Structure formats: C-alpha cells, structure tokens
C-alpha cells in the first residue's frame, strides 16, 4: 500500500514536471507566470535527486556508510572535523554559491528566457551536480586531496599542472569580470558607492570584534555587522541627498576601477582576520538571507515573466555579447549549470568535514541543485522586467549609443517597447540618476529583485530594495575578489617557491608584496581594459571566464572518468563521460569562434583587425582613437589566451585517453590511490547530534 | 506545556545548528577534541586559550580555495 502510494506520488511529480516544462517551452503569449519555472525546477530536481543521484551513489560509486571518512581518521579538531551533515551542507553551499549564478543567467536572458532556463535545469542535474558529487566522493576516498593532486596521481603530471594553471587563469579572469560588474553598478551612483565603501570599515570592525574584543564570538559579531550593513544601505540614501557629501562618492568608471585595484592589493596583503574573514561572514549571512527572501517573495508574488521565450538575438547579434545561441548560452551560464570551480571546493575543502560517505549525495548533488535553483531565481528576476527595460539597462553605450534618445530608438527598432520617460521614472524610483548602459547584470538583477521585493513586502521602499540588492551583490563579489586574489597569491608563491624557495614562504613580506602585486596587476589589467572599452568589456571578459570555467569542469570530469575506468567501471563511466563530451564540444566550438570568427563582435582577431583598419583609415572619433591601440592589443592577447586554454584542455583530455588506452591494452598504469577500507567508529547519533 | 517545551527544544536545536554553521562553537569543539584525544598522553599539546585558538583556527580556514564564483 505504502509502496503504491509512493509510486503514485512520483508519477504525479513527473506529470507536474512535464506540464511545467511544456508550459515554459511552448508559451508564446505576452507573459508567463514565474511559478511554472519554480514548479519545473522543483520537479526535475526531485526526480533527479531521488533516482539518478541515488543510483549513482549506490551503484556507480558504491558509497559505503560503514567506511571511515578522512574527517574521522585524520580528526585534528581544527580543519579535519567530522561534522553534522546539515552543517557541512551549509558550508559547502556557501562556498560554491557566489555571484556567478546571478550574473550568468541575467546576461543569457538576451536570448530569451527559454535557452538559459533549460540549460540551467538539464546542465545541473546531468552535469554540474554529478561533477560535484563524484569529485567529492573521489576526494573523500583519497584523504581529501585537491583536484590538482588527484589529477597528478591518477592521470599524470601533465593533468596536475594543467589543473593548477587552469585554476590560476580562471581566478584572474573571474576577478576582473566581477570587478567590472561592481564598477558598472557603482559608476555615478553615490548611493551604491557609499554603501559599498561602508562595507570595508564595517568588515574591519567585525574582524576586530571577533579577534580582540570578544574572541571567537562569531555569531554576535556577524549579527552586529549585518545590522550595520543594513544601516549603511539606508545611510547611503541619506548621503545621496546631501549635495556636499554626494560628490565625494560620484565617480567615473575608471577612477572606481583604480580604487578597486588598490583595495584588492590592500586586502591581499593585510592579515585575513582584519578584512577577508569578517567580510566573508557578513556576505554568507546576507547571501543566505537574501536567497531565502527572494524565494519567499517569488512564491508570494508569483510575478509574470515578460521576456519572450526566444528573442531574435539567438542569431548572434545580441547587444550584451555577440555570438549565436550555440555555443554561447552554454558558456555564458557556467555556475548554475556546471562550474569547474566547484570541483576545487568538493575536493580538498568539504571532504575534511564529511562525517559519513552516505551524506555525499545530499551534500555534493543537493548543494548544486540549490545553486541551480538560485540561477533559476536570477533568471526570473531578470525576465520579470519588460524586455525593453532589460535591454536599456544592459546594452553598452558602444552598441546603442550614449544618448538616452538614441539608445531608446535603437531598442525600439528591435521591437521592444520602452520610452525615455519610462527609464527616467524607473531611475528615479530606484534612487539613481540613470540606469542606461549598466552592463554586467548586477543593476538589472537589482531592479528585478527590487520590483519583486517591493511588490511582495511594500512598494514604498523601491530605492532601498534596489540598493540593498546592489549591496548584496557587491559584498560577495568583493569577498570573491579578496579570497581569489589571496588564493592566486598562494598559488604563485607556491610556483615561484620551486625556483627560489624563499619566495614560497607565505609570510615573507617581499614575496607577499611581489606575488600580490602580480596577481592584482593580472586582473587589474583586464579590469582596466574592460572599463575603457566602449562596448562594456563584459562582452569580452564573460565568455573568456565561461570558457575557462568550463575547461576546469572538463578537467574535473576527465579525472573522474579516468578513475571510473581504472576502477573497472567503464560501463557506467558515461555518467561523467557524457557531460565531458558535451563540455568539450561547447568549449572547443566557442573557443574556435572566439579565435576564427569573421564577426567583429565574436572573433578576437577580427575585432582587432577591424579596429586597426579603422585606426589606420582615420575614421575613429578622437577619444576612441586614443584607446584603440590598447584595445587592439587586448583583443589579440585574449585570442592567444583562448588558444592557450583550449590547448591546455585537449592536452589533459589526450592524457586521460592515453590512460584509458593503457588500461584497455593491459599495460601498466599508475595505481589507484584510494585509501584502504577502515570501519567507522562514529555512531550515527554521535555525529548527528 | 509539553508543546511549548517541544517548540523550545526545536528552537534551541536550530540555534545550535546556526552556531555550528558559523563556527561560533569551534572553541568548544576543540576543547572536547583535546579532552578526548590528548588527555591521557604525557606529551599532550597544551590547551590553547579561546583567543589563541581563534587565531589559529581562523588562519587555517583561509589556506586553500574556500570561495567560489
């Protein structure tokens, strides 16, 4: 009886899921309720988690709940600690969910809501969540080794080196693009700038409180900090109304970029307790709180999605970034569908806390589903805007013109209704002077969130909600920026330490200064170019980031596939093999187009040559001609960077295929490095308390 | 009364989880670990004070990749 009831329940879930997906896919009306998105996501996740993930855990990986995990065997009371599964889930989710799943879907909404939504759902359940779960499993069986170490041990030194270099590259490009997103949100916005600036002293105050005033009282310090952050949002509105004060925070993009570069260097050099750790606490609290609030607001309000299912920009002529639906939607949305970066958290960090292998499905697969859900909510928040408004906020001045009238005329010519007065009114409601050309996703997402929150919890505070959303995004973008710069610094110190051991000492000041300076210079360069680029920079940097991130995902899937085959599980190795083939197809064809396309909005070389021709012919306006040589150099550099990334990827793939060849031709292989079985001594109740 | 007591228990349980998640209870966990693993041995490392432990713990949290995109 019970069994039949369960069966019927799952049939109902399947039916609802199918109905929701068809409603989303087939809708050609004016608008569609966001509840269909929520329903489709919930049903697909539930089915995938209950059946696919459970099958992988039980039959492919054969997780063993009686086996002691590294957290138990190597328990040191500090970083290896067997921890309650919900707490590990929270840590893991907070670590993997950054600004990526918010920005990618917003940018990809230029194709319409449908392609991005389907990729987020399918990519997560078949790709991203599988990658996270198997990487977590393999690292747990290998004393919580990092992805790079596993690649070296299981595939070979080339794979290990490629993983290391790939991580470093992603870090540089990611930080640059995130910096650009913050700059675009802050330029000529005294409210946003003063609020974001206030997060720095607030974080330092919290850091001081936890370190010296009340050591280790993380919770009360964080609550104090969150209260101050909310005060800073309101205070920013006050500053915006003071003619004297507001001009201190009213800046051009370029000066803000320099400020962020200087800040990034300072944050990498000062001790973690002062800035990085407390900022991270604040951003985690704000992040979890806002995501929950957004979910509640969407369910209460059930907003209508106004973006069409598909726009004409699937042909590659989109204003936010150039390139056709295939492959660029799959590059634009990395986090939220599949993100290679997660494999760095799933190996090395999370396994040190995992008390029982039986929890791997919930933590590895489940947390990724939640992140995918965040991406769906970002897609909803971006597409509840009228398409005309969405494009007015996100189209760079280089595409639609820098005058409001020109931009509106251009957007109207695409068939999206919007007026100058409508945009001005919206800017006034949000407490901004203008919302045009705020490329990058943060402001349009903030407008979307503000309208959802405003409608659900009171309309009078739109401007406060908008700046709260900007603060929310800025605070964890800056956390990623701080943490990424520091990780980049450690990696560089590690590499240089091989040449000159003294450089490898993480506390030797000259080495700290030099390596921090190099890392900041690396991302600072791309940020600078992005800011001076009239096309907004995001159109160049985001695809580059997507390619780099998917490349890391492909490396993680290579390692996983290699281990599966070496363990004699060739027949089921498709669980990682299929997503790997898909990612190879996507990244290679995207890279190919970025290098060889004749379309100047897609191909790096084409853009460089076009600009060089125009410069030589003297047809560029004076201010464009001044920056043209830098842009030409940058486009060429980006092209070579793409070549490098794709070659790196194929080297790892070939290395992995060589391992498979040796396996099937029965030649000697590097042995599996799995730690032998030891029974767990942890009683279920002991940990679960 | 029992319903209220049960609710109170639930709230305390949730509070406990939040403390675990934020690392607010890291020192207590460490003291427990120290008592369980090092009490008997002669060359046991000395028990750190709350302040010393927090420094050590916080720095060790930021050695590797712990934040993502």
Tokens standing for A59?
Answer: 């039959």
The per-residue pLDDT for A507 is: 81
Strands (E), A331-488: none
pLDDT tens per residue, range A21-75: 999 999 988 899 999 999 999 999 999 999 999 999 999 999 999 999 999 999 8
Which domain does B28 fall in, by range? Answer: 23-38+48-60
CB contact under 8 A, B62 and A79: no
Q: Which is nearest to A27 in space by CA: A417, A308, A312?
A: A308
B30 domain-assigned:
yes
Name the range with the highest mean pLDDT among A136-145, A291-300, B50-59: A136-145
Q: Which of B37, B56, B69 sits opposite A480 (nearest CB)?
A: B69
Q: Whole-angstrom Cα distance, residue A130 to residue A128?
A: 5
B2 domain-assigned:
no
Share of chain A above pLDDT 90, in %: 78
Q: Whole-angstrom Cα distance, residue A178 to residue A473?
A: 10
B32 domain-assigned:
yes
Cα end-to-end span (Å), chain A = 33
Tell me whether A217 touches chain B (CB under 8 Å).
yes
pLDDT tens per residue, range A81-103: 899 999 999 999 989 988 899 99
B27 domain-assigned:
yes
- Mutation pick from B33, B65, B66 vs chain A, by most beta carbons of A within 10 Å, is B65
Tell me whether A347 touches chain B (CB under 8 Å).
no
Model-level ipTM above the cut of 0.90: no
Smallest CA–CA separation between A552 and chain B, in Å?
13
The per-residue pLDDT for A687 is: 46
Q: Which is nearest to A139 in space by CA: A92, A87, A172?
A: A92
Q: Which residues of A touch B66 (CB under 8 A)?
A: 95, 345, 349, 483
Contacts of A41-47 with CB under 8 Å at 24 or more apart are A41/A121, A41/A372, A41/A373, A41/A376, A43/A13, A43/A14, A43/A16, A43/A17, A44/A17, A44/A121, A44/A125, A45/A124, A45/A125, A45/A369, A45/A372, A45/A373, A46/A13, A46/A17, A47/A10, A47/A13, A47/A14, A47/A17
CB pairs under 8 A between A and B: 115
Q: Which is nearest to A318 in space by CA: A303, A304, A328, A307?
A: A328
Tell me whether A681 touches chain B (CB under 8 Å).
no
B29 domain-assigned:
yes
B11 domain-assigned:
no
pLDDT tens per residue, range A342-386: 999 999 889 999 999 999 999 999 999 999 999 999 999 999 999
| Chain B residue at shortest CA distance from A280 | B67
B66 domain-assigned:
no
Q: Which residues of B touch A483 (CB under 8 A)?
A: 62, 66-67
Tell me whether A349 touches chain B (CB under 8 Å).
yes
A527, A257 contact by CB (below 8 A): yes
Q: Which is nearest to A215 in space by CA: B20, B40, B11, B51?
A: B51
A76 confidence band (pLDDT: 50, 70, 90) = confident
Residues of chain A numbered 167-206 and touching chain B (CB < 8 Å): 167, 170, 174, 178
Tell the CATH superfamily of the A32-187+251-678 domain.
Answer: Amino acid/polyamine transporter I (1.20.1740.10)
Q: Which of B17, B32, B58 sits opposite A277 (nearest CB)?
A: B58
pLDDT tens per residue, range A545-555: 999 999 999 99
B54 domain-assigned:
yes
Q: Domain limits of chain A?
A: 32-187+251-678
Tell me whether A149 touches chain B (CB under 8 Å).
no
CB contact under 8 A, A95 and B33: no
Q: What is the mean pLDDT of residues B39-61?
A: 81
User: Which residues, other chains included, contact A460 with Cβ-Cβ below 8 Å and sequence gap of 6+?
Assistant: none
Q: What is the mean pLDDT of residues A603-630?
A: 93
**How many C-beta atoms lie closer than 10 Å to residue A278's C-beta?**
26
| Chain A residue at shortest CA distance from B62 | A272
Helix (H) or strand (E) holding A229: helix A218-240
């Amino acid at each position: 009886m019970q069994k039949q009831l369960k069966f019927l329940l799952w049939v109902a879930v399947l039916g609802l899921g199918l109905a929701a997906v068809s409603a989303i896919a087939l809708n050609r009306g004016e608008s569609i309720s966001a509840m269909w998105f929520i329903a489709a996501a919930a049903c697909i996740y539930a089915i995938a988690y209950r059946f696919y993930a459970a099958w992988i855990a039980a039959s492919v990986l054969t997780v063993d709940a009686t086996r002691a995990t590294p957290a138990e065997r190597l328990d040191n009371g500090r970083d290896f600690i067997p921890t309650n599964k919900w707490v590990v889930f929270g840590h893991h989710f907070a670590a993997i969910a950054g600004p990526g799943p918010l920005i990618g879907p917003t940018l990809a909404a230029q194709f319409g809501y449908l392609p991005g939504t389907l990729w987020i759902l399918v990519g997560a359940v078949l790709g991203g969540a599988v990658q996270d779960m198997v990487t977590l499993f393999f690292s747990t069986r290998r004393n919580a080794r990092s992805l790079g170490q596993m690649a070296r041990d299981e595939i070979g030194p080339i794979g290990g080196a490629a993983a290391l270099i790939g991580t470093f590259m992603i870090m540089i490009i990611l930080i640059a693009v995130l910096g650009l997103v913050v700059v675009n949100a802050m330029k000529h916005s005294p409210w946003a700038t003063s609020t974001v600036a206030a997060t720095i002293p607030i974080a330092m105050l919290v850091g001081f409180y936890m370190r010296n005033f009340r050591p280790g009282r993380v919770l009360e310090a964080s609550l104090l900090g969150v209260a101050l952050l909310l005060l800073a949002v309101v205070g920013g509105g006050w500053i915006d109304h003071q003619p004297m004060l507001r001009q201190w925070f009213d800046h051009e993009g370029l000066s803000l970029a320099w400020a962020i570069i200087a800040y990034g260097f300072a944050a990498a050099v000062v001790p973690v307790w002062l800035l990085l750790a407390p900022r991270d606490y604040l951003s985690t609290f704000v992040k979890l709180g806002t995501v929950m609030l957004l979910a509640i607001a969407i369910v209460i309000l059930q907003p209508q999605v106004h973006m069409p299912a598909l726009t004409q920009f699937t042909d590659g002529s989109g204003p936010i970034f150039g390139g056709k639906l295939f492959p660029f939607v799959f590059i634009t949305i990395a986090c939220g569908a599949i993100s290679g970066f997660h494999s760095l958290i799933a190996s090395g960090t999370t396994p040190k806390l995992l008390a029982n292998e039986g929890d791997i499905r919930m933590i590895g697969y489940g947390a990724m589903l939640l992140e995918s859900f965040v991406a769906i909510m970002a897609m909803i928040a971006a597409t509840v805007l009228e398409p005309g408004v969405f494009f007015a906020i996100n189209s760079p001045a280089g595409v639609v013109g820098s005058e409001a009238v020109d931009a509106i005329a251009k957007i109207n010519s695409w068939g999206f209704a919007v007026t100058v007065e409508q945009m001005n009114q919206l800017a006034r409601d949000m407490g901004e002077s203008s919302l045009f050309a705020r490329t990058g996703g943060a402001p349009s997402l903030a407008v979307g969130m503000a309208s959802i929150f405003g409608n659900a919890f009171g309309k009078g505070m739109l401007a406060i909600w908008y700046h709260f959303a900007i603060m929310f995004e800025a605070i964890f973008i800056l956390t990623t920026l701080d943490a990424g710069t520091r990780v980049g610094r450690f990696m560089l110190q590690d590499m240089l330490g091989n040449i000159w051991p003294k450089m490898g000492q993480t506390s030797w000041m000259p080495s700290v200064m030099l390596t921090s300076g190099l890392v900041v210079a690396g991302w600072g360069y791309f940020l600078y170019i992005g800011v001076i680029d009239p096309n907004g920079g995001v159109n160049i940097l985001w695809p580059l980031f997507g390619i780099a991130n998917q490349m890391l995902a492909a490396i993680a899937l290579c390692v996983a596939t290699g281990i599966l085959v070496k363990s004699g599980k060739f027949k089921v190795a498709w669980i990682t093999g299929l997503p790997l083939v898909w990612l190879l197809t996507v990244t290679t064809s995207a890279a190919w187009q970025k290098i060889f396309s004749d379309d100047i909005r897609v191909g790096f070389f084409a853009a460089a040559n076009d600009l060089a021709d125009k410069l030589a012919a003297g047809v560029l306006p004076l201010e464009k001609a001044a920056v043209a040589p830098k842009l030409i150099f940058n486009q060429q550099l980006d092209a070579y960077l793409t070549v490098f990334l794709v070659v790196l990827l194929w080297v790892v793939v070939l290395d992995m295929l060589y391992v498979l060849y040796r396996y099937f031709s029965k030649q000697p292989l590097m042995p599996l490095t799995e730690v032998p079985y030891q029974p767990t001594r942890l009683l279920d109740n002991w940990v679960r308390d | 009364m029992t319903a209220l007591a049960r609710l109170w228990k639930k709230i305390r349980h949730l509070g406990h989880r939040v403390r675990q998640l934020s690392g607010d209870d890291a020192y207590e966990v460490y003291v427990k670990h120290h008592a369980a693993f090092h009490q008997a041995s002669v060359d046991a490392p000395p028990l750190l004070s709350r302040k010393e432990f927090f420094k050590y713990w916080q720095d060790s949290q930021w050695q590797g990749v712990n934040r993502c995109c």
